[in-house]
Amino acid sequence: MNKPLRRIAIFCGLLVLALLVRVNWIQYGRAEELNTHEYNRRVLIERYSHERGNIIVDGKPITGSAKTDGTDFAYKRTYTDGPMWAPVTGYASQAFGANQIENLEDGVLSGNDDRLFFDRTMGMFTGKKQRGGNVVTTLNSAAQKAAFKGLGKKKGAVAALDPQTGKILALASAPSYDPSKFAGNSDKDSKAWTALGKKNDANDPMLNRALRETYPPGSTFKVLTAAAALEHGTVTDPDAATDSPLPWIMPGTTSPLPNENNIPCKNVSLREALRMSCNTVFGKLGADLGKDKMLETAKKFGFNAEHFTPVRADASYFSDDMNVSQTALSSIGQFDTRATPLQMAMIASAVANDGKLMKPYMVDRLEAPNLDVLEQTEPEEMNRPLSQEHAQILQSVMETVVNDGTGKNAQIPGVTVGGKTGTAQHGENNSKNPYAWFISYAKTDGGSPVAVAVVVEDEEASRDDISGGGLAAPIAKSVMKAVVDSKE
């Protein structure tokens, strides 16, 4: 063979070798990437070729699957009472993907989880169509309905927990949305999706306010300040007078810390201070404790950390960079202090559970299509922000708030209820309507089955009509009663 032909042959051989390497790399090296690529239409067609598993509440599915027409995607997601359950389920859309439980547990729901390999393999031999597994939640349908109905057309959120286990019993957010309206991939679905965006709807209905919005907690934060005062020995007797002058000038300033409506807060006890919601008492307690001790207690309750339920909840915030007067304001739930409704429910939950804070979770178990349990969630202690003795003292004080204070609207006949109201300033120089808060728990002979946090953003109400006891406490009451009644 002459030299030019030999060169051509070698060159062609190298091309063939490069082609073989490339083909093998694509088929084997990039197989997983290409199989799961968002633009691989065949994968999407297979994904929607069978019914998706369901999300279960109280033994009943709150989701489903429906046959579609005019598309190569055979099934799309459906939702029962979609707006009520959207803060729990999230959405699963052929065009826009998925979020929350629909996304986090997608492997089980779609049937593609490795733990379902045997089911898929058996289906190849039996001809049985692939099905997704189920996600069984901890939610209580009666509590969720009470929360959603209670919020109504008001903007706000509700979070309810079982203090003894950490199970999330209700998670409501308003306004909400119906995930069924954009579950497909048609022009109609696209229009529904676009309409829900914050640019087109200022109310931001797709925001999960129970987990992803932080608010100034106002006077509900005084429960945490009371816990810090008890734990660090600043208060030893809840019925003894405190050293709380009136007016009280915040350290480093010439400004007195005001109380609402000139209530008689001079040197009152911790019990009376929480009953009347005295800013001066709790502001001075926070200042006396100091930033470091307040921050330590806040962190024990879960502040300054994200929580995964498994859906992520934003971190609530207590500053680590404050002077004494700012610490005082933070100790009454103002300045830079911010909290999610879930976080405030965790505070009430820890108090109700004798000082033990359980990790919140909303997925009880994952099931295969044949209902075999793939994974079971076990209750997990998260922290002990206060001792049993101090928790029981604080329970007594919070029960006084409901029996003879600002929380009377949360009273339930035959049930012991503890709570704390809050009205948090909102907007520059408090220019906007304040947020109405209420945190609470209910106790029965069997212990404390529920702790609740409610926040209401009522922009339509008269400013003088906004209070935690007036707007938020009745919602908390209905949620607590729903849980108590369901236990009977």
Domain 211-363+382-487 belongs in CATH node 3.40.710.10: yes
pLDDT of residue 463: 39
Answer whether 297's CB lies under 8 Å from 227's CB.
yes
* CA dihedral for 334, 338, 341, 346, sign (positive or negative): negative
* CA dihedral for 456, 459, 462, 463, sign (positive or negative): positive
Tokens 């199970």, residue located: 167
Answer whether 420's CB lies under 8 Å from 398's CB.
yes
Report d(CA 381, CA 400) in Å as an integer: 28
114, 132, 112, 120: which is closest to 36 by C-alpha?
Answer: 112
pLDDT of residue 474: 95
Answer whether 116's CB lies under 8 Å from 124's CB.
no
Helix (H) or strand (E) holding 64: strand 63-67
pTM of the predicted model over 0.85 = yes
Joined tokens for residue 167: 């199970």
Joined tokens for residue 81: 């009472």
Which of the residues are catalytic?
219
The size of the chain, in residues, is: 488
Joined tokens for residue 250: 């915040």
Joined tokens for residue 370: 């044949």
Domain ranges of the chain: 211-363+382-487
Amino acid at residue number 446: G
CA atoms within 13 A on the CB side of 144: 22
Give the pLDDT confidence of 185-244 residue by residue, as tens digits.
Answer: 889 999 999 999 888 888 999 999 999 999 999 999 999 999 999 999 999 999 999 999
What is the 8-class DSSP label of residue 255? P
Given a cut of 50, the residues of the chain with pLDDT beneath it are: 427-429, 431, 461-466
Cβ count within 10 A of residue 22:
11
